[in-house]
């Protein structure tokens, strides 16, 4: 066990995994715990959060779980109150919740547009809205929002709503970071590129003609490294931003994509 997050309380949304294996939130929650943090693991499905908790506790860590739809204000408020009741403070807010649906401005439905805004964008606003007062009172805190390189680059097929929400998260993060820098609070984004996590086995496959194996091969080939990254690559970048090692890193983004967004073609 490490000590980079010793005595810190970390609230992780989307701390479960959408399928077998390691999703970004699950890996981050476990890594925070391995570095000494007390983790408050949030997921829409409590069984997914409980699976993460079981891993953390099997390694001697501390974790509590809570079921929450982070796009709902009343549930987010209850979530934050439950974390304070359990641990007394919140040192790090790690926003990992996100869904993806393909479709451009013409063919994407309005329902899909509003759904992605609620889950990917409004959720970040709401968690920050209710966590920030506690961080202001402490005069210290770190917010890590997981975005996507899709917010800054075309990634190969129409992805209008997802792209829009991830770009919005970056703008919101900068706004929060600058407003609350004087309060000892930092806010930054991690922007994953092409990652191999359980989430890509869902709606994203449609952007690759529905063939999962072909999708994996094509995404591997797109990466300058010849291989997609995984949840641990995102987790370690998040750990740095959350830790005191990044005490002067604020209002910025760390791109975790193997060099993908530096390519011209």
Q: What are the tens digits of pLDDT across the range 146-164? A: 999 999 998 888 989 999 9
Please report the pLDDT score of residue 74 as a whole number. 98
Place of tokens 């807010």: 93
Closest CA to 263 of 155, 188, 117, 173: 155
Residue 129, Cβ neighbours under 10 Å: how many? Answer: 14
Percent of the residues in the chain that have a pLDDT greater than 70, as a whole number: 97
Q: Within 13 Å and on the Cβ side, how many CA atoms surround 84?
A: 14
User: In the prediction, which pLDDT does 156 show?
Assistant: 80
DSSP 259: T
Retrieve residue 195's tokens.
């990652």
Q: What is the mean pLDDT of residues 217-225?
A: 91
As annotated, the active-site residues are 162
Q: What is the predicted pLDDT for the residue at 82?
A: 98
Average pLDDT over residues 104-131: 97
Average pLDDT rounded to a whole number, residues 108-115: 97
Q: Is 154 helix (H, G, I), strand (E, B) or coil?
A: coil
Q: Which residue has the tokens 């959720």?
A: 123
What the block records as the tokens of 80 is: 């934050």
CATH dotted code for 9-253? 3.40.50.720
At residue 264, does pLDDT exceed 80?
no
Section 92-97 average pLDDT: 98
pLDDT at 66: 98
Mean pLDDT across the chain, nearest whole number?
A: 95
pLDDT attached to residue 178: 98
Give me the residue spans of the domains in the chain: 9-253
Residue 18 clears pLDDT 70, i.e. is over it: yes
pLDDT exceeds cutoff 70 at 202: no
Q: Under DSSP, is residue 12 helix (H, G, I), strand (E, B) or coil?
A: strand
> Residue 194 has which token pair?
């092409």
Q: In this structure, what is the dihedral angle of CA atoms 202, 207, 210, 212, given to the nearest 10 degrees?
A: -60
Please determine, for residue 51, whether its predicted confidence score (pLDDT) is greater than 80. yes
- DSSP letter at 2 equals -
pLDDT at 134: 98
pLDDT exceeds cutoff 90 at 141: yes
Residue 127 host element (H or E): helix 123-138
Question: Band of the pLDDT at 203, cuts 50, 70, 90?
Answer: low
What Å distances lie between residue 200 and 98, 210, 218, 221, CA to CA? 12, 11, 13, 16
Is the confidence at residue 234, as pLDDT, over 70?
yes
| Beta strands across the sheet bearing 185-192 | 62-67, 38-43, 9-13, 92-95, 141-146, 185-192, 253-256
Backbone angles phi, psi at 69, to 5 degrees: -95, 105
Spatial CA neighbour of 240 closest among 12, 24, 28? 28
pLDDT confidence of residue 207: 64
d(CA 116, CA 162): 7
206 pLDDT more than 80: no
**Do residues 209 and 176 lie in contact, with contact meaning Cβ atoms separated by under 8 Å?**
no
Q: 66 pairs with which residues across the strands? A: 42
> Residue 66 and residue 61: Cα distance in Å, rounded?
17
Would you give the end-to-end CA distance of the chain in angstroms? 42
pLDDT tens column, 167-199: 999 999 999 999 999 999 999 999 999 999 887
Which residue is it, tokens 């829409």? 44
Q: Is the pLDDT of residue 265 over 90?
A: no
pLDDT band, very low/low/confident/very high, at 215 (cuts 50, 70, 90): confident
């Amino acid at each position: 066990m490490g000590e980079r997050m010793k005595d810190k309380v970390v609230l992780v949304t989307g701390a479960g995994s959408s399928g077998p294996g390691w999703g970004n939130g699950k890996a981050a929650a476990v890594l925070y715990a391995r570095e000494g943090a007390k983790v408050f693991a949030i997921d829409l499905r409590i069984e997914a959060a409980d699976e993460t908790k079981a891993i953390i506790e099997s390694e001697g860590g501390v974790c509590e779980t809570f079921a929450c739809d982070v796009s709902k204000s009343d549930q987010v408020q209850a979530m934050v109150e439950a974390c304070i009741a359990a641990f007394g403070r919140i040192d790090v807010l790690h926003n990992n919740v996100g869904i993806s649906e393909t479709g451009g401005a013409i063919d994407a439905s309005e329902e899909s547009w509003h759904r992605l805004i609620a889950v990917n964008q409004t959720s970040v606003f709401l968690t920050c809205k209710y966590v920030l007062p506690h961080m202001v009172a402490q005069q210290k805190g770190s917010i890590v929002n997981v975005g996507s390189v899709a917010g800054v680059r075309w990634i190969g097929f129409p992805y209008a709503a997802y792209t829009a929400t991830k770009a919005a998260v970056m703008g919101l993060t900068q706004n929060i970071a600058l407003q609350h820098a004087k309060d000892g609070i930092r806010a930054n984004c991690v922007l994953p590129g092409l990652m191999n996590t359980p989430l890509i086995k869902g709606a994203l496959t449609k952007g690759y003609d529905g063939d999962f194996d072909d999708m994996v091969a094509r995404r591997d080939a797109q990466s300058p490294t010849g291989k997609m990254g995984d949840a641990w690559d995102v987790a370690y970048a998040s750990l740095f931003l959350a830790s005191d090692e990044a005490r002067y890193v604020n209002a910025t983004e760390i791109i975790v994509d193997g060099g993908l967004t530096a390519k011209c073609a």
